[in-house]
Amino acid sequence: MKDIAITDANFDTEVLKNDKPVLVDFWAVWCGPCQTQGPILEEVAKAMEGKAKIGKLNVDENSEVSQKFGIMSIPTLMIFKGGMVVKQFIGVQSKETLLGELNKLIN
């Protein structure tokens, strides 16, 4: 699975206007816990393929979206559905936690 890079430029299209649930990982290269979360997200993305979208937004390169959502700590994970934030996590989350939340949103 290739990570979907979410940016200030494509956020509306990839996240807000998506008809599937979208999990966005707000992260940075220098963040140790973010590096721990990455492989977990790859597993989640494989398990949710075709049902939900998993993407990563680098907070250092995309300050507009990061500021809009008040990102103060990373990793922050937000799940969007219908253009709205439906769940937010701060810190590293388990595969089971993320799959559980995404599965609740799948019609």
Q: How far apart are the first and last CA of the chain?
A: 23
Is residue 34 among the annotated active site residues? yes
How many other C-beta atoms can be found within 10 angstroms of the C-beta atom of residue 24?
A: 24
Which residue out of 4, 28, 31, 90 is catalytically annotated?
Answer: 31
Tell me 31's DSSP state. Answer: -
Backbone angles phi, psi at 87, to 5 degrees: -155, 145
Map tokens 């939900």 to a residue: 52
Secondary element (H or E) of residue 44:
helix 32-47
Is residue 99 among the annotated active site residues? no
Which residue out of 34, 54, 57, 77 is catalytically annotated?
Answer: 34
Report the catalytic residues: 31, 34
